Amino acid sequence: MTNIDAPAGISVPARAPRPVLVLLIMSVAAGLSVAGNYFAQPLLGLLRSELDMSTTAAGLTVAMAQVGYAVGLGLLVPLGDRYSRRGLAAVLLAGTGLLLGVAGASPGGSVLLMATGLAAVTSVGAQVLVPFAAEISPPDRRARSIGVVMAGVLAGGLIGRAFSGIVAELAGWRAVYWITAALLVGIALVVLSALPEGERDTSDATRPLRLWRSTATLLVELPALRWPIAIAALAMASFTIHLTAISLLLISRPYAWSPAAIGLIGLLGVLGPLCMPLAGRFVDRGHSRAVLLTGLASAAAGWAVMLPAQNGQVFWLVVGVVLINVGQTAMLNASQTTCYELRPEARSRINAVFMTLFFAGGAVGGVLAPIVWVSAHWTGTCLLGVAITGLGLLAAAFTHRHGQREHGTRHVLRP
């Protein structure tokens, strides 16, 4: 590839990477990066007993992960529009590994809380890798590349919970953190040595303070971002409600399932990430709006078919979980790809805004789920899920992408 008309202050790599290997490394790195944010969920009992933590303090390890991730999205991810995303991702991956190592050696609850909270901040290395995948991919493969890396992010959360519980039972809870710490430092070295450097823009316009200011005002500067992000936030609210509601359903009669059995249902969610590259293939062919509508319709249908599950009909529960997870990943791929194309040189900032509001939607869903469950149980929760997803579907069906696309010189690595 030749460097044609490169803007001042921007450097581009001289050689194209092997795309399959690069995306595999990115996907694994992204999954490992976020996995640690979910380790504490199955370990709360062990942490209380071995570190003499109160129930509240142990529960804060979960909350600290969410707060830390939000801080990292706002402060660190936008820096990818200035510095080499390869180098930034490698530093954050290694930092996450070192902090998880400290968490594993924690002598008490306060050190564990501090280490896991800081590790969550640096775990946004995963969200540096997602726009990096868009940067180094040709336009006709960009959505698929995003899908592969995002599949790693989503799978990391799902597998992280299972990994934590299994390893803790076999080797103790500290081994969970130490093993992951070693893997993260190792994958950081692989990222640094095997991935292309990517673009850098060291002009005055990308100084950190200006990047953060630009990130904060991006929804004003780019009105076309608002609808895709709003739709994604609604979908995430619905998705979070389904995670909570299914757990509440399965611990109640007529199910009364054990945590292990409930975990098996949760593993069905892996089907979503597996389908994301397929969704990306259709987005790359110019069908992003169709993929978005299909994903939202699938999720809404999933809520509807799960209604009979309150009577013990587990088949419909399984069908609904699959439809919701597959629909969620299709929606996410179409929405992210659409947003990234609005301003290619600001993909990291766009991703920071997108993911912050995306998870904010999930937080709203997490608050609504137990409230509706107490008052209306399974039927009311399913109807809420249909209503929220349906609202997103209506918004997607009757809105079009307006807003200007800012054209500039783009540099793409072709395989």
From residue 91, how far is each of 85, 146, 191, 239 by CA, in Å?
10, 21, 10, 31
Is 10 in a helix, a strand, or coil?
strand
pLDDT of 397 over the 60 cut: yes
Buried b (16+ CB within 10 A) or exposed e, 60-81: bbbebbbebbbebbbbbbbbbb
In the chain, what are the domains?
15-197 (1.20.1250.20), 207-414 (1.20.1250.20)
From residue 81, how far is each of 134, 215, 304, 394 by CA, in Å?
13, 11, 42, 33
Structural contact between residues 410 and 344, judged by C-beta atoms closer than 8 angstroms: yes
Other beta carbons within 10 angstroms of residue 43's beta carbon come to 21
pLDDT of 367 over the 90 cut: no
The model's confidence at residue 294, banded by pLDDT at 50, 70 and 90, is very high
The model's confidence at residue 53, banded by pLDDT at 50, 70 and 90, is confident
- Give the DSSP H or E segment for 301: helix 288-305
Structural contact between residues 336 and 354, judged by C-beta atoms closer than 8 angstroms: yes
Instruction: List, for residues 192-220, the tens digit of each pLDDT value.
Output: 998 987 777 777 777 888 888 888 889 99
Looking at residue 186, its amino acid is G
pLDDT given for residue 174 in this prediction: 93
pLDDT of 54 over the 60 cut: yes
Higher model confidence: residue 46 or residue 115?
115
The model's confidence at residue 263, banded by pLDDT at 50, 70 and 90, is low
Per-residue pLDDT, averaged over 12-33, amounts to 78
How many Å apart are CA 411 and CA 392, to the nearest integer?
34
Give yes or no for a cis peptide into 223 (omega within 30° of 0). Answer: no
pLDDT of 188 over the 80 cut: yes
pLDDT of 388 over the 90 cut: yes
Burial class (CB in 10 A: 0-12, 13-18, 19+), 355: buried
Structural contact between residues 126 and 96, judged by C-beta atoms closer than 8 angstroms: no
pLDDT of 16 over the 60 cut: no
pLDDT given for residue 412 in this prediction: 36
Contacts with 357 (C-beta within 8 Å, 6 or more apart), sequence order: 229, 230, 232, 233
pLDDT of 10 over the 70 cut: no
Record the pTM. 0.77
Per-residue pLDDT, averaged over 25-34, amounts to 94
